[in-house]
Amino acid sequence: MRSFGFHITSLVEQLHDRESSKLVAEHPPALQVVPQICGLPNLGNSCYMNSALQCLNAVPPFALFFRNLLVQSGEDNLISSYARLVQTMWSGQCSYNTVVELKHKMCRYAPQFIGYAQHDAHEFLIALLDALQDEMTKKFAADTSASSIIEKLFNVETISQVTCDACGKTGEGTESMKFLSLPLPDKSTVPITLSNLLDLFEKKEKLDGQIYCDSCEQIAGGYQKTSLGSLSPIIIVQLKRFPFDGTHRKVMTTVDYPLNDFDFYRSNQRKSEDLYDLLAMSMHAGSLASGHYTACVRHIGTNEWYYVNDNHYERITDLQIIYSNPKAVSLIMGCAPSTNDHNNVSHPSNTDTPTRMNPRLFMSSGENDSKQYSKNFYQNVASFNQNGVITLEQACKGLQVNGLQQLIQKAKKNATHPKQGLTQDEHAAIFLYTQDSPFYQQLNESLRQNNERALTAWYGYLQLFLNALHKLPMYHGTVWRGIPHNLKMQYKKDDERAPMETGPCLVSRFSVVGSSANSLSSAR
């Protein structure tokens, strides 16, 4: 079973021209810390919105785009509000005001959501994507890789063929939408499969005297057949449980769908290049007049499933709840890159590290060796301490660094008023790394060696350091060690005294704190 989160980097890299895009960090985070599961407050019948937001947050390339988007202070638009929401959800600390802000911005585009009435989660999800796409087309007009990300990720093309009974000629047309809507059979006594629904969707439909044929220039009967055309990496499947027949009834037919490796072209001669995994589903309990929305989401990092009900969430241990759920109204399906794509990304097993590492994190003679080494390194750091928070002193225990205790004392002294939700020890861990000292020199030397044994003593510190970085907002730019800005132009070329940017051994998420600067930065 593939871990979809493993392919975050490759998908985002395809959507961004890394030579020109200034919207996100030049390279994805070298050590992407696993995002947190986070509930959302109910603002008053806003469960439909919470369900939709949880589903979108389970889509790796989409969520990561906004996770890494630089939001300027004072920005007043839907893009910045949604980016702030994603960033706080990934930190596990989403506030009431953040959700209120997003809904307020959304209501500018879709006034039907003003107030506290009940609404449809699928309708809100599509309206949100439409509104974001509209803003991004204007805001990022000069960067097509950013302005078209929603169009590239969420698009279903359907092909409609109409054949005239009178002359036998066939006309063809195509239509593109952000989702695939599948009606449900009303009186099925046994569960049906997603493949069954697609068969019904593509079934020929008799048209009795309903078409005008351009070829024979008359109104005649005929047949219409709809089939799937090109599919985007993400497919939103709407299960139409509320038919538009004036009855206000809900179709409770159970639909079986696989969690992994579903082929939307299952019965056609053409072959699908990618199989789709279920990433999330929106669920509805109750009737059209009175109901409640929840969601089931696949965790981007761990591949585990969670049930999310507004503020409450819990891990799902019985996957049968997901396989066949009569409450499911929307399915979010995502395809991972095939093994023969241009990135040549392998598909890890469920036990592999779910996050792909940036090979630039370490100096290595071979790219494959670097990836494997980076993956092992991340696993070791992440599993070093699972018994709660440790102090900086505990994290550095066993390190042989000259003057270490004095360096720790200095770091903690400069971290008496931590910001961004950091603890004093987390703030001090970052400060310690920013200082030009034997500590920094020995750590970088250990990182360059590609020797796991040499790094073992550093696991405690690196875990504390990376947990701290995870809490910080992103910033695109270059960090200059010990100076406020680029002074290289004041020196001759190849002058050894010229200041240097942070090197390739640094994680791409970085903080300059203490006396050096007050801003939070991302190192290249």
Average of per-residue pLDDT values in the chain: 75
Note the pTM of the prediction, 2 decimals.
Answer: 0.62
Mean pLDDT calculated for residue range 42-63? 94
Radius of gyration from C-alpha coordinates of the chain = 26
370-420: pLDDT as tens digits: 444 455 566 667 666 655 568 999 989 888 888 999 999 999 999 888 887
Pick from 154-163, 320-329, 477-486: least confident: 477-486
Would you state the pLDDT for residue 376?
59
Query: Can you give the pLDDT at residue 273?
Result: 59
- The whole-number pLDDT of residue 335 equals 82
Is the pLDDT assigned to residue 97 strictly greater than 90?
yes
The more confidently predicted of residues 124 and 30 is 124
- In the beta sheet, which residues pair with residue 308? 295, 313
Tokens 């009186």 sit on residue: 187
Q: Is 445 exposed, middle or buried (0-12, 13-18, 19+ CB in 10 A)?
A: exposed
Distance CA 158, CA 427 (A): 53
Region 87-96: what's the mean pLDDT? 88
pLDDT higher at 321 or 480: 321
pLDDT (tens digit per residue) in 422-451: 889 989 999 998 887 889 888 887 776 666
**What's the Cα-to-Cα distance from 190 to each of 186, 199, 214, 254, rounded to whole Å?**
11, 17, 44, 8
Q: Are 199 and 267 in contact (CB under 8 A)?
A: yes
pLDDT at res. 385? 64
Going by pLDDT thresholds of 50, 70 and 90, the confidence category of residue 318 is confident
Q: Say whether 15 sits in a helix, a strand or coil.
A: helix
User: Higher pLDDT residue, 159 or 507?
Assistant: 159
Q: Among residues 81, 69, 137, which one has the least CA distance to residue 106? A: 81
Share of the chain above pLDDT 90, in %: 31
Q: How far apart are CA 7 and CA 133, in angstroms?
A: 23
pLDDT tens digit sequence for 98-138: 999 999 999 999 999 999 999 999 999 999 999 999 999 98
pLDDT of residue 279: 94
Would you say 319 and 259 are in contact if contact means Cβ atoms under 8 Å apart? yes
Confidence (pLDDT) at 406: 92
Which pLDDT score is estimated for 214?
81
Per the model's pLDDT, the better-predicted residue between 188 and 212 turns out to be 212
CA-to-CA separations, 481 to 27, 335, 486, 510, in angstroms, rounded: 20, 41, 10, 12
- Given this model, what pLDDT does residue 246 score? 63
Please state at what angle helix 60-67 crosses helix 8-15, rounded to 10 degrees.
Answer: 70
Residue 9: pLDDT above 60? no
Q: How does pLDDT run across 132-164, given as a tens digit for each residue?
A: 999 999 888 777 777 788 999 999 999 998 888
Which pLDDT score, from 0 to 100, does residue 128 have?
Answer: 97
Q: CA dist 440 to 21, 246, 461, 472, Å? A: 31, 70, 12, 21
> Which range scores top for mean pLDDT: 12-21, 123-132, 501-510, 511-520?
123-132
Between 318 and 301, residue with greater pLDDT:
318
pLDDT of 307 over the 90 cut: yes
CA 111 – CA 504 distance, rounded (Å): 48
β-strand partners of 305: 298
Q: Which domains are delineated in the chain?
A: 4-154+229-335 (3.90.70.10), 359-521 (no CATH)
